[in-house]
Structure 1
């Protein structure tokens, strides 16, 4: 029996959670926010849609944000996701650590790359792209043995 789940992935909201982002996440089973959230209300609003894991980004310096981890693991059986804001700050080898995916943000540019069997996924910025990239989020479709990543331009 194939189990299907959809993980919504976003980053770099910087205090803005547009209606089109909320609408695009309505079908997800889980949400991962890869930092630079900007406003605690965004955490509340996303958690109303689906279970949420969020990490702190480099601009998340307010007192509410210090409760968020800089990096974390998310397991959605059988997949293990390593989540951090800035991929340049990763301090482990995802392959050796048994990760299936590394989720990051920071660059405001989407990236969807497989390297050595590990998915490196950056959804881009949900609020404002950079270097010509429009705002975007991501979804990762999970089946029993497969991850299918998708970048969604807003």
Structure 2
């Protein structure tokens, strides 16, 4: 079994509790709105990181991060996009197991047509009276088990 750490919308605020919740994951994906490139360095101290930029990251600060990313980890194809509303018809192929997004700051997990759609919520400053959260995905062969974790 492998564990994927999923985080988004840090907006430059790195909480120590984040490291505790991600301790032991095999890989971390960041779905944008990093806010400060040093955030990625801090996450890389825990596990390898794949990241995309979000709407607050701007061209200059996050030019090294793409708008979207398709990668294969632990036998599953993963698609990252910051705002799920930007998904165009036909963009998600049948080979994709999980779509990870952020932007809304609302944590959610749903499955549509066999694809898991995961938004880990926001791990940064609390907004809209929503809790700070992140997610993990336990991967065991074909099975994906996503879980939302509050950051206390």
TM-score by length of 1: 0.92
Q: Is 1:114 the equivalent of 2:111?
A: yes
Greater displacement, 126-135 / 106-115: 126-135
User: Equivalent residue for 2:61?
Assistant: 64
Where 2:63 maps in the other structure, the secondary structure is: helix
User: Equivalent residue for 1:54?
Assistant: 51
Where 1:100 maps in the other structure, the secondary structure is: strand
User: Equivalent residue for 1:148?
Assistant: 145
Partners of 2:2 and 2:74 within 8 A in 1: no
What's the offset of the Cα at 1:67? 1.4
Q: Is 1:74 the equivalent of 2:71?
A: yes
Q: Is 1:7 the equivalent of 2:4?
A: yes
Q: Distance in 1 between matches of 2:59 and 2:14?
A: 18
What's the offset of the Cα at 1:62? 5.4
Where 1:67 maps in the other structure, the secondary structure is: coil
Number of residue-to-residue matches in the alignment: 151
Does the C-alpha gap of structure 1 residues 106 and 47 become closer, same or farther in structure 2, counting only changes over 3 Å?
same
TM-score by length of 2: 0.94
**Corresponding residue to 1:99 among 96, 99, 118:** 96
Does the C-alpha gap of structure 1 residues 96 and 68 become closer, same or farther in structure 2, counting only changes over 3 Å?
closer
What's the offset of the Cα at 1:130? 3.8
What's the offset of the Cα at 1:132? 3.0
Does the C-alpha gap of structure 1 residues 130 and 19 become closer, same or farther in structure 2, counting only changes over 3 Å?
same
Structure 2 unaligned segments of length 5 or more: list them.
Answer: none
Greater displacement, 125-134 / 63-72: 125-134
Return the structure number with greater helix share. Answer: 1
Structure 1 unaligned segments of length 5 or more: list them.
Answer: none
What's the offset of the Cα at 1:107? 0.3
